[in-house]
Amino acid sequence: MAPMTVLTRDEAQARARLLDVHSYDIDLDLTRGEEQFRSTTVIRFHARTPGDTFVEVRPAALLSATLDGRPLDITSLDDNRLPLAALTPGDHELRVEADMRYSRTGEGMHRFTDPVDGETYLYTQLFLDDVQRVFAAFDQPDLKAVFSATVTAPPAWTVLGNTVATRVGPPAEGRWKLPPGRPLSTYFVAFAAGPWHTVRTEHAGIPFALHCRRSLAPHLDADADELLGLTRRCFDRFHQIFDEPYPFDSYDQAFVPEYNFGAMENPGLVVLRDEYVFRSAATDTERQTRAVTIAHEMAHMWFGDLVTLRWWDDIWLNESFAEYMGYQVLTDATHVTGPWTEFGVSRKAWGYAADQRETTHPVAPEPGAVHDTAAALLNFDGISYAKGASALRQLVAWLGEKDFLAGINTHFARHRFGNATLADFLDSLAGATERDVHAWADRWLRTTGVDTLTPRITTTDSGWELTVDHEGTRPHRIAVGLYDHDPDDPRRLTARTREEIDLPGPTGPALTGTGPRPALVLLNDGDLAYAKIRLDPDSHDTALGALSGLPDPLTRAVLWNSLRDQVRDGLLTPGAYLRATRDHLPHETDNAVVEGVLTFARDQIADVYLPADHRDDALAILRDTCHDLLRRTGQGTAPGPRLAAVRTLIDSATTDAALHDWLRAGTVPGGPALDPELRWRVLTRLAVLGAVTPDAITAELAADPSATGREGAARCRAALPDPAAKQAAWHSLYADDSLSAYLWTATAQGFWQAEQLDLTRPYRDRYHPDATALAARRGTALAKAAGNHGFPRPHIDHDTLRLGEECLSGTEPTPAFRRQLRDRLDDLRRALAVRYTQ
């Protein structure tokens, strides 16, 4: 799947000046075999002036094309562009018939056969420029049109789409009709077909439904009440805060296999990765992440679907808004507790990391900076999501929620079913407030990097004063938390007060107080700011001694994040972070904090930031921490810190005896039982340690022949410390091109192990040419996987850095692979700096 010719911003603007697109009538025949399907498209459009343009289509075979009934020369198809020359002003009808390829990489029309029961499922993923893999289109977001479709599928299948699909004709013909709905951008068109298991209900006069493949039916049914309850509460909350009612005729959520993203906001048919249908135990944080995704995608129905960006430089408007509203709506309207704690621990960490790499970019790039669709794809990162959401949270704190929502509702009213830009959005907000939102946007949205806030506490005759050293240029509204030691327990802290301040503020101290200075002065208590937070020396000592004694989990999260940032910046040794983990994490009750700290300690401290000869000691500290967590959580405790501790305990094992005992017993002492996810995790760790045979992996796969079982087996086989196993895994990754994106990722995850540096070093030297060729050959999804999961992360040395830099100096890497490789090398430089400054 070679990269397509990309659409430039200038080309899109020229075509938008020339055309008004009225409607698409799409006919798909999904009964023509396992490799291809037939696609017929009729596009009705109007040309304003005489001119030349093109329509995008990426066929296996272009069969015919007619314009106003006249045949076009199909041999003129140039890559993915069919020319439409010498258009005359007026209305036109274009008809394109083609055979299209099914995808195994989640792009276009993805085809998946469930290994459990042999049933096949299809679904589309048409973002950002993959529409042309399914039907011919003027593929840009500002040429909205009305879509209708007819789909032919095997008779036993159900067809889903943006509007409610109904059978037409005799059932044996398998014909389905999807009526026209509201105007949509091309990338929102969606189809799904297969023998879906479905749970239906209705709310506020709108049909709701959940869909999954049949082998997951018991697991979906077990969670259906929770999922539909969340959907109803989010739906009702959005109707409380938005004047515009839900703009589409149904709300289906389809959990689909081998999906590359978390979810996609197709109007009327949201698709979500079917890992969200939990077949094994899930922590509270994992359930909360699923809930956030549900709220996030529903927010898109207004911001993204109702009002759509004009060009991809404003993608942050879609994603940042949905990210912010997802967390806020869960906080306001559901039973989910502490969503902003999880946001601070995981999502903001993603944003901070992205914003400190050399590939950082503004939340809102300058007009013209995103010059084509390939460049647009590079900006789907922690900046567009987490940093943008953090900026909106600051904006709400600065404007007030009432004025913010008033501006949002004005924006929806002005641009409903149309397209809008950042300037339009800011104009709508400006009409609801006297504050200068355009100046705010320039400082928050057009700049890069992370500000740093450092407190300085001085004593005075009457008490103490706080001043803040502000490294950066953005204004911040933050809360300052003041805490004292509990007189009865010095390991506990009690809140003295919490004061809100603006930075930059008036000259002089930001805050003053009488009496003794607080034991802990915490900037950004409540985590409203997007900034790195430092501690004054006394507060630092207090935090290391009493972090777990703070009463609020969000406050504890802010402190843990501060310690993480200090490690990454070389201001706190990795060993000190591990000691804090050992001292405080066993007392932590918030699962998001437990998971975040354990993940950073295991994956970054132990494997990356510490020298290799310190790794076993670090893993021993983590095992002790996890054992202590298990002792403090009783048998039968709801999945949460206990399950997180078990997972890290497995991943940190350096001997195999206990792991074999757990497998034989089918449980960890005191619980939990080893469900499929935990069994594969144990098998993977045993494979890394060389303590499991290929026959044992095959037997486990026979017991769990599911899609995730196949991924587990691929991960285990690639992890075996055996030259033949490594060679076989490398061949499957880079030579035969038969792996789906999911199986490719699982194999790559197993391949690189910190315990196997000598065995994998020759492959480190082969990685860059092989991955570069793969990215060019198999397309964007595999390019990203190769640059991320395929990168030789355990090889933290200057030779790995040199090889990567030599690769980047050439012209061969595709944009998607080049971006991933630049980020991995940036992380490698940071790791080397941390290692050599200890």
* Residues 647-669: tens digit of each pLDDT: 999 999 999 999 999 999 999 99
pLDDT bucket at 335, cuts 50 / 70 / 90: confident
**377 neighbors 402 (Cβ within 8 angstroms):** no
Side-chain-side CA neighbours of residue 772 (13 Å): 17
User: Higher-confidence residue: 2 or 459?
Assistant: 459
**567 neighbors 610 (Cβ within 8 angstroms):** no
Q: What average pLDDT score do residues 506-518 get?
A: 88
* Per-residue pLDDT tens digits for 52-79: 999 999 999 999 999 999 999 999 999 9
Question: Which structure tokens are listed for 722?
Answer: 């055996």
Q: Distance between CA atoms of 446 and 364, rounded to whole angstroms?
A: 6
DSSP state at residue 277: S
Which of 426, 378, 439, 395 shows the shortest CA–CA distance to 530? 395
Q: What average pLDDT score do residues 347-362 get?
A: 97
Q: What is the mean pLDDT of the chain?
A: 96
**810 neighbors 795 (Cβ within 8 angstroms):** no
What was the pLDDT predicted at 810?
86
What was the pLDDT predicted at 633?
82
CA distance readout (Å), 330 to 25, 238, 296, 399, 695: 38, 11, 10, 21, 46
Helix axes of 553-568 and 591-599: crossing angle, nearest 10 degrees: 10
Residues listed for the chain: 838
Exactly one of 97, 107, 275, 297 is catalytic; which is it? 297
What is the CATH topology of the domain spanning 19-76+87-188? Immunoglobulin-like (2.60.40)
* Per-residue pLDDT tens digits for 752-801: 999 999 999 999 999 999 999 999 999 999 999 999 999 999 999 999 99
Query: How would DSSP label each residue in 115-142?
Result: TTT--EEEEEE-TTTTGGGTS-B--STT
**126 neighbors 187 (Cβ within 8 angstroms):** yes
pLDDT bucket at 324, cuts 50 / 70 / 90: very high
Q: Where are the alpha helices (DSSP H) in 667-797?
A: 676-688, 694-703, 707-719, 723-734, 741-751, 757-778, 780-788
User: Higher-confidence residue: 828 or 334?
Assistant: 828
Question: With 70 as the cut, is the pLDDT of residue 7 above it?
Answer: yes
* Per-residue pLDDT tens digits for 247-285: 999 999 999 999 999 999 999 999 999 999 999 999 999
What was the pLDDT predicted at 616?
97
What was the pLDDT predicted at 709?
98
Q: What average pLDDT score do residues 627-635 get?
A: 85
pLDDT bucket at 468, cuts 50 / 70 / 90: very high
Query: How would DSSP label each residue in 295-348?
Result: HHHHHHTTBTTTEEESSGGGHHHHHHHHHHHHHHHHHHHSS---HHHHIIIIIH
Q: Is 691 left (phi over 0), alpha (psi -120 to 50) or beta?
A: alpha
Q: What average pLDDT score do residues 624-643 get?
A: 82
What was the pLDDT predicted at 3?
57
pTM of the model: 0.97
Estimate the share of the chain in helix, then strand, then coil, as percent rounded to the nearest 5: 45, 20, 30
**Single-letter amino acid, residue 558:** V
**How is domain 307-443 classified at the architecture level of CATH?**
Orthogonal Bundle (1.10)
3-state secondary structure of 718: helix
Active site residue 297: yes
Question: With 70 as the cut, is the pLDDT of residue 1 above it?
Answer: no
Question: Which structure tokens are listed for 506?
Answer: 């008036």
pLDDT bucket at 837, cuts 50 / 70 / 90: confident
* Per-residue pLDDT tens digits for 562-615: 999 999 999 999 999 999 999 999 999 999 999 999 999 999 999 999 999 999
**94 neighbors 65 (Cβ within 8 angstroms):** yes
Q: Distance between CA atoms of 532 and 39, rounded to whole angstroms?
A: 52
What was the pLDDT predicted at 504?
83
**Single-letter amino acid, residue 759:** L
Q: Distance between CA atoms of 199 and 221, rounded to whole angstroms?
A: 8
Question: With 60 as the cut, is the pLDDT of residue 2 above it?
Answer: no
- Same fold flag, 19-76+87-188 and 307-443: no
Question: With 90 as the cut, is the pLDDT of residue 337 above it?
Answer: no
Question: With 50 as the cut, is the pLDDT of residue 40 above it?
Answer: yes
Q: Distance between CA atoms of 47 and 10, rounded to whole angstroms?
A: 18
* Per-residue pLDDT tens digits for 385-412: 999 999 999 999 999 999 999 999 999 9
* Domain definitions of the chain by residue range: 19-76+87-188, 307-443, 451-529+534-572, 721-838
Buried b (16+ CB within 10 A) or exposed e, 182-192: bbbbbbbbbbb
* Per-residue pLDDT tens digits for 691-710: 999 999 999 999 999 999 99
